[in-house]
Chain A
Amino acid sequence: MTDTIAEHAAHDLKAGTPLVEMEGVGKSYGAIRALEGINLTVNAGEVACVLGDNGAGKSTLIKIISGLHGHTEGTLRVDGQERKFSSPRESLDAGIATVYQDLAVVGLMEVWRNFFLGSEIRKGKYPMAPLDIKAMREVADAELQKMGIVVKDINQPIGTLSGGQRQCVAIARAVYFGARVLILDEPTAALGVKQSGVVLKYTAAARDAGLGVVFITHNPHHAYLVGDHFIILKLGRRVLDKKRSEVSLEELTTEMAGGQELAELSHELKR
């Protein structure tokens, strides 16, 4: 499955080049500050892990990078140029693809239609040009098989696949469309151990092919397996920001479980 990524990954990627840089980025929804003062750099060939509990601001962070919501403070630079995305299309065109935990696919549409949704192959450039359905079926089928996803029929509704398979279709789609930055929103949250493994291997393969990966999770064990850089968010603020060499799994786990607060709680509940 590494071939798939190497084949489609952009070839101008040099490991260590910053692809996305955030400086002091924040987002307010009216009077509520969902996120503030976030500094995050996503380098080519590296996995940046964003960890945090529910409501920590992980989703808001992704929505800013993927163009669903604009940021209200700070600067976001993509390939060195300052940007503020106003639609997911702009973000996609900048080479940033996002795989969402819950809204990755349209359940009642066929697998191949989902694979190409928003980037359909057409038999021409004119406005009502027909779809090249045969090509799309073949490509989708071949790409999924390379990833080890065997669907009974590429024409079946994607809702008939398992959760892990749907997640993998969404990742394969993002990589196939030449993403340079891949944002994975809780990709392992709903998966079993074996299927989580598949997704993690695929994440590592994307990193090795030179993509910049943002891996969002609340599972420090999964993060530590693939991450180069770790950021922990709590209530919209950064509470930890360390490179892999500066942090241990224990430290991540403790910090995720609540850190100082947990220690105080354990003192309080001591029997």
Chain B
Amino acid sequence: MSSSVAAKPSTAPPAAPAGRAERSLVSRVLGRPEIGALAAAIVIFAFFFAVAEPFRTLPALATVLYASSTIGIVAVGVALLMIGGEFDLSAGVAVTTAALASAMICYQFSLNMWVGVVVSLLIALAVGCLNGYLVMRTGIPSFLITLSTFFILQGINLGVTKLVTGTVATPNTSAIDGFASAKAVFASDIDLGFITLKVTVLWWLLFVAVGTWLLLRTRTGNWITAVGGNQASARAVGVPVRATKIGLFMGVSFLAWFLGMHLLFNFSTVQAGLGVGNEFIYIIAAVVGGALLTGGYGSAVGSALGAFIFGMTTQGIVYAGWDPNWFRAFLGVMLLLAVLVNLYIKNYAAQRR
């Protein structure tokens, strides 16, 4: 038996027998994972558009998109990981780890900034690989493995930074060779004529597009959905479960590294305590976007909508002149609603028709 099957010459498929109908448009649209998030995004956009006058301007939109992109970049990876049936609680602090490593290596050893960029990428990928390997090797839930990684990285971030610099922040790196070119890639402003966007917005859209394509149009995407939906079944038909899941953890690490590079080149210096708590924001963005906590279902576009909802809300509350402390309460309400909508959608999708 060959694993790659040549497409058979397509003999004209027999005429559809009676009783066989295309599913209705409504049924197909309601079956999409991101439909709840899309509805919520529209309602929330309309809401802030109505109540907050400064929200209606294009610069405000650029700010909202920027805030969304800093959540959304990592959320794409987290969504794919969750579709693959796993969690990563270390994603928030891994962002900071990458930024700190890059900054301190270049500063201490007087290296070109790009060396730090590459070395921190290798560190990030190693952390992701370790997370995935431990989860697959031990069978311990990823929740616990990555919770451990979370604490380890958090401790290392603070400890090593204090040890090297004597403070809890890195020195200013903006004078180091290669800073300007790296900033152009990770943190520049793009003038589109009518609106000036942070480059992260474009990167975010690119990552979402790649994630969506990967999930729906490649063999890897098929495997991701299968290992999350029914791992034993996927393994039995020959899907490389371990490689798929380790790859997913490394994908999250890669995106965390990317955001870390943005933070470093945007602010020139990095606070060692940053990132704690963000892992939940990424997970919530993915869940609001339709990813099931149990795996096997979700979308990359959904995670982008989830991130956009948070970007709109964090900025919208400010534009409306309210106390930003309300944001957390809103976060909880959104999550609860999202989980309820997801439950409904999953039941609808799995219904016998």
> Given the complex of chains A and B, what is the CA–CA distance between A151 and B11 in angstroms?
19
Q: How far is the CB of B144 from chain A (nearest CB, A)?
A: 25
Q: Looking at A97, A116, A117, A122, which has the most chain B CB atoms within 10 Å of its CB?
A: A117
B325 within 8 A of A: no
Q: Is the CB of B233 within 8 A of A155?
A: no
Q: Is the CB of A88 within 8 A of B1?
A: no
Option from A68, A117, A125, A160 in Cβ contact (under 8 Å) with B4: A125
Mark the stretch among B155-163, B184-192, B219-227 that contacts chain A. B219-227
Q: Is the CB of A119 within 8 A of B229?
A: no
Q: Is the CB of B17 within 8 A of A150?
A: yes
The residues of B that contact A120 with a CB separation of less than 8 Å are: 219, 222
0/1 string, A65-103, CB within 8 A of B gives 1? 010100000000000000000011100111101101001
Q: Is the CB of A88 within 8 A of B22?
A: no
Interface size on B, residues (CB 8 A): 48
Mark the stretch among A11-19, A46-54, A132-140, A221-229 that contacts chain B. A132-140
Given A88-B235, A103-B232, A130-B218, verify A152-B14 contact (CB < 8 Å).
Answer: no
Q: How far is the CB of A127 from chain B (nearest CB, A)?
A: 9
Mark the stretch among A36-44, A175-183, A230-238, A246-254 that contacts chain B. A175-183
Residue of A nearest to B235 (CB): A88
Q: How far is the CB of B291 from chain A (nearest CB, A)?
A: 12
Residue of A nearest to B229 (CB): A106
Q: Is the CB of A157 within 8 A of B4?
A: no
A31 within 8 A of B: no
Q: Is the CB of B353 within 8 A of A152?
A: yes
The residues of B that contact A159 with a CB separation of less than 8 Å are: 349-350
Given A100-B233, A145-B14, A155-B23, verify A131-B350 contact (CB < 8 Å).
Answer: no
Q: Looking at A68, A89, A108, A116, which has the most chain B CB atoms within 10 Å of its CB?
A: A108
Q: Is the CB of A66 within 8 A of B5?
A: no
Q: How far is the CB of A156 from chain B (nearest CB, A)?
A: 6
Q: Which of B210-240 contact A (CB under 8 A)?
A: 213-214, 217-220, 222-223, 225-226, 229-230, 232-240
B66 within 8 A of A: no
Residue of B nearest to A120 (CB): B219
The residues of A that contact B229 with a CB separation of less than 8 Å are: 106-109
> Given the complex of chains A and B, what is the CA–CA distance between A118 and B241 in angstroms?
11
A153 within 8 A of B: yes
The residues of B that contact A156 with a CB separation of less than 8 Å are: 23, 353
Q: How far is the CB of B332 from chain A (nearest CB, A)?
A: 27
> Given the complex of chains A and B, what is the CA–CA distance between A138 and B296 in angstroms?
24
A128 within 8 A of B: yes
A245 within 8 A of B: no
Q: Is the CB of B353 within 8 A of A160?
A: yes
Q: Is the CB of B297 within 8 A of A108?
A: yes
> Given the complex of chains A and B, what is the CA–CA distance between A142 and B8 in angstroms?
11
Option from B19, B213, B239 in Cβ contact (under 8 Å) with A117: B239
Interface of B is mostly: loop
> Given the complex of chains A and B, what is the CA–CA distance between A59 and B256 in angstroms?
43
The residues of B that contact A58 with a CB separation of less than 8 Å are: none
Q: Is the CB of A92 within 8 A of B226?
A: no
The residues of A that contact B21 with a CB separation of less than 8 Å are: 152-153
A113 within 8 A of B: yes
> Given the complex of chains A and B, what is the CA–CA distance between A139 and B213 in angstroms?
22
Given A105-B233, A108-B296, A139-B7, verify A178-B1 contact (CB < 8 Å).
Answer: yes
The residues of B that contact A178 with a CB separation of less than 8 Å are: 1-2
> Given the complex of chains A and B, what is the CA–CA distance between A129 and B225 in angstroms?
17
A104 within 8 A of B: yes
Q: Is the CB of B237 within 8 A of A130?
A: no
> Given the complex of chains A and B, what is the CA–CA distance between A178 and B1 in angstroms?
5
The residues of B that contact A150 with a CB separation of less than 8 Å are: 17, 19-20
The residues of A that contact B108 with a CB separation of less than 8 Å are: none
B328 within 8 A of A: no
A21 within 8 A of B: no
A141 within 8 A of B: yes
Q: Which of B231-271 contact A (CB under 8 A)?
A: 232-240
A121 within 8 A of B: yes
Q: Is the CB of B14 within 8 A of A142?
A: yes
Q: How far is the CB of A149 from chain B (nearest CB, A)?
A: 11
Residue of A nearest to B8 (CB): A139
The residues of A that contact B239 with a CB separation of less than 8 Å are: 117-118
B110 within 8 A of A: no
7 contacts between A and B (CB under 8 A): A92-B3, A106-B226, A113-B222, A121-B4, A128-B214, A129-B219, A152-B23
Inter-chain pairs besides A108-B349, A155-B23, A159-B349, 7 sampled, C-beta below 8 Å: A88-B237, A89-B238, A93-B3, A129-B218, A142-B10, A150-B19, A177-B1
Chain B contacts to A: CB under 8 angstroms: 1-5, 7-8, 10-11, 13-14, 17, 19-23, 28, 31, 213-214, 217-220, 222-223, 225-226, 229-230, 232-240, 296-297, 346, 349-353
